[in-house]
Structure 1
Amino acid sequence: MVMIYTVGHISGAHFNPAVTITLTVLRRFPLWVMLPYIAAQLLGSILASATLAGILDVTPKDYFGTVPVGSNGQSLMMEIIITFLLMFVICGVTTDKRAVNELGGMAVGMTILLNVLVAGPVSGASMNPARSLGPAIVKHNYQGIWVYILGPIIGALLGAGVYSLTRYTDKPLHEIAKSSSFLKKMSRNSP
């Protein structure tokens, strides 16, 4: 959340190759920038992982990457689901001009927090191929790595696809529901 607010106006605030790929597919991110962007995301993860490994005495038991706790299938499904939720929220708060963008970082940050609380014990809650690849490369631990590449990409594409289906109009809510008695009543009661 902090990084979204700090560099969102510079980088577009995504540090996740699954998000980059999905935004490119949606034509909200230029194709020619996608590969350098993903390379930078991966390099950032590798440098951060190397820094941690250099500062701390990281034993195999203390591995800070993501590996499946249960089966690869369980972790894959969990990564698809939580990345779906993350990308659905990202689309809602960043790609829809009707959204209140000032709270976008908080919405994304809270989604990540909730996903980690729910999925962390099962899959490690990566939601980000770079987040998993960096530690794997630095510590040479590739156990189930395909789960953390494929799952987030599938989940992000599905999340964006479903959001696109639900965003059937560019009209604001008050125009969509003009005939709603609830909205009329609320507008009469507002100061």
Structure 2
Amino acid sequence: MAHISDVTAQTQTVILDIKDDDSPRPRVFISFVQKLFGEFVGTFSLVFAGCSAIVVNDTYGKPVTLPGIALVWGLTVMVMTYSIGHISGAHFNPAITIALASSRRFPLKQVPGYIAAQVLGSTLAIESIRLMFQLNNDGCSLKGSIYVGNHPSSSNTAAFVVEFIATFNLLFVISAVATDKRANRSFAGVAIGATVVLDILFGGPISGASMNPARSLAPAYIWGCYKDLWVYIVAPIVGALAGAWTYNMLRSTNKSYGEIIRPNCSKEASQDDFCVLRVVDPNNRKLFILSSPTEINDTCNVTCKLA
């Protein structure tokens, strides 16, 4: 339990001496198998919805159009992020998993399992589409046949650059809205889904805007079309790493913890009221301070002093 030391009637700010108690605390545990199943379901749903939109657009006189296809991908990402994000993190993409692991935002030992679940979910989604729409096996020729895989519309260089930039944008936004505690995570799914829509709108006609090695690998395996596949594996991974690490450089701050963490305080509180602020410094030392409302600035920040 915590007890207050050196408190007087005139003291406006005091330090709490903290002693951790041994009372049991409930913990929420999600098994690794549940996370893998979440990644499998999310990747299957994403690839099935997005690629089905492509097939419907090519089969029925292009009623969906490019903006429609982009919206299908973006909305599915948003919906599945809110549905599964609290279980597995809602990666659905090996490039995302690798990039977050490289920046220490995801356990490295879980990367192989996540990638396996994502590739399996994507492969089953593509096979389901092939059977449902009775797509033939001549997709690689791209002559009158519907192929839901990715291929450069012009040169490999242009496709590589587009895939790099699109995935860079995606990971930059994910790192900003989903991994930074200063961000409002309530709208993370909206921001990530909107980024996917924007990336497809400018990158779709050039490279297909895959941004996802699992999404590209699955149709290549089902139809046996491995030409130029390296572009859709290397470019997204490199772009994801660049996006995640670029935001990590911006993440660093020289602000005090009081400027970063906003306590649940009110400037209209009584002068005798105190606001409790819990801070964990880089050395994981627990620091509790009591601050009077008069010491809270206009943005409800408290300047924290390490004990």
Identify which of 90, 94, 105 aligns with 2:174: 90
Residue 68 (1) aligns with residue 152 (2): yes
Equivalent residues of 1:23, 1:29 under 8 A apart: yes
In structure 1, the residue matched to 2:185 is 101
For residue 43 of structure 1, what is the aligned residue in structure 2?
Answer: 120
Give the counterpart of 2:241 among 145, 149, 157. 157
- Aligned partner of 2:110 in structure 1 is 33
What one-letter code is carried by the residue in structure 1 that aligns with 2:155?
Answer: S
Q: Give the match for residue 96 of structure 2.
A: 19
Match of 1:123 among 204, 207, 219: 207
In 2, Cα distance between equivalents of 1:17 and 1:32: 14
Q: Which has the higher contact order (CA 8 A, sep 6+)?
A: 1
The AA in structure 2 aligned to 1:147 is V
Say what the alpha-carbon RMSD is for the aligned residues. Answer: 1.8
The alpha-carbon deviation at position 171 of structure 1 amounts to 4.5
Question: Which of 129, 135, 142 is the matching residue for 2:226?
Answer: 142
Structure number with bigger Rg: 2
Provide the TM-score with structure 1 as the length reference.
0.88
Tell me the residue number matched to 1:181: none
Residue 80 of structure 1 aligns with which residue?
A: 164
Residues 47-78 of structure 1: CA deviation (Å, up to 9, x unaligned): 00000011112242210111111111110010
Residue 137 (structure 1) shift: 0.7
Gaps of 5+ in 1: 177-185
How does 1:49-60 map onto structure 2 within 5 Å? 49-59=126-136, 60=139
Aligned length: 178
Does residue 166 (structure 1) correspond to residue 250 (structure 2)? The answer is: yes
Q: Which residue identity does 1:158 align to in structure 2?
A: A
SS at match of 2:199: helix
Q: Residue 79 of structure 1 contacts residue 123 of structure 1 at CA under 8 Å; is this kept in 2?
A: yes
1:166–1:85 distance in 2 versus 1, CA, 3 Å? same
Task: Write the distance in 2 (CA, Å) between the matches of 1:109 and 1:170.
Answer: 31
Q: In the superposition, relative to structure 1, how do residues 150 and 53 fare at CA in structure 2: closer, same or farther (>3 Å)?
A: same
In structure 1, what residue type is equivalent to 2:154? G
Paired AA for residue 65 in structure 1: G
What are the superposed Cα offsets for residues 14-60 of structure 1, whole Å, 9 maximum, x if unpaired?
10100100111111111111001100000000000000011112242
Moved more, 50-59 or 117-126: 50-59
Unaligned residue ranges in structure 2 (runs of 5+) = 1-77, 140-144, 261-297, 300-307
Identical-residue share of aligned pairs (%): 51
Segments ≥4 residues shifted beyond 3 Å: none
8 Å Cα contact 1:98/1:170 also seen in 2: no
Deviation of the 1:118 alpha carbon? 0.4
Q: Normalized per residue, which structure has more strand? A: 2
Partner of residue 286, structure 2: none
